[in-house]
Structure 1
C-alpha cells in the first residue's frame, strides 16, 4: 500500500510542480507529505539515513526537533559518519529513551 501512496504523491507532485527525473531525490518536505497526510515520513519513505539526512529529514523523527537535528549534523561534521545506529547516542541530548523511539526508523546506510 505504501508503494501506491508514495507513487500517487510523487505523481501529483510531478503533475503540479514539474516532472521528476528518475533517481532525483525528493524530500518529504518538498512534497508536503508530513503536512498533508500526517503519516510519519519514515513509515512511507523508508528509514532516515543519519549520515546523509538534512536537518528537515532528521526533524521528522520522533523526539528529534530542530535543535537536536542541528546537533546531529554538527556531530557528523566534527566526527565523521556514524558507524552504527547506536552511535547516535554519542550526540549530546540523545539518550537511550530517544534511541528506543527512533531505532526502527534510522539507518547508517548500506
Structure 2
C-alpha cells in the first residue's frame, strides 16, 4: 500500500512484503539489483509467505539468506 508510517523504522526486522526497494538496499549483501529482484518477485508472485522464499529470488542463495534471516520478516 501507499503511505509510509514512521513507526517501526529502524527497529525490528524489515517486512519483506511492505519494504520499498530503498529499504531493502539497506540490508547487508543486498544492493540495488537484488533489491529490485526482490520487489519484482513480489510483484510477479504475490507476497512472500516465509523468509525462506527469498531463495527463489535471483542473486539470493543460502549464504545470503543466512545473513538476512535475522533481519527480515513476513
What TM-score do the two structures reach when normalised by structure 1?
A: 0.60
Show the counterpart of 2:40.
74
Shift of 1:25: 1.1
Please, which runs of 5 or more residues in structure 1 have no aligned partner?
1-23, 29-40
The Cα offsets for residues 21-76 of structure 1, whole Å up to 9 and x where unpaired, read as xxx61386xxxxxxxxxxxx4xxx11000011001110111110111101000000
Show the counterpart of 1:96.
62
Please, which runs of 5 or more residues in structure 2 have no aligned partner?
none
Show the counterpart of 2:5.
25
Structure with higher Rg: it is: 1
Where relative contact order (Cα < 8 A, 6+ residues apart) is larger, the structure is: 2
Aligned length: 70
What SS class does the counterpart of residue 104 from structure 1 fall into?
coil
Aligned Cα root-mean-square deviation (Å): 1.6
Mapped partners of 1:67, 1:85: distance in 2: 19
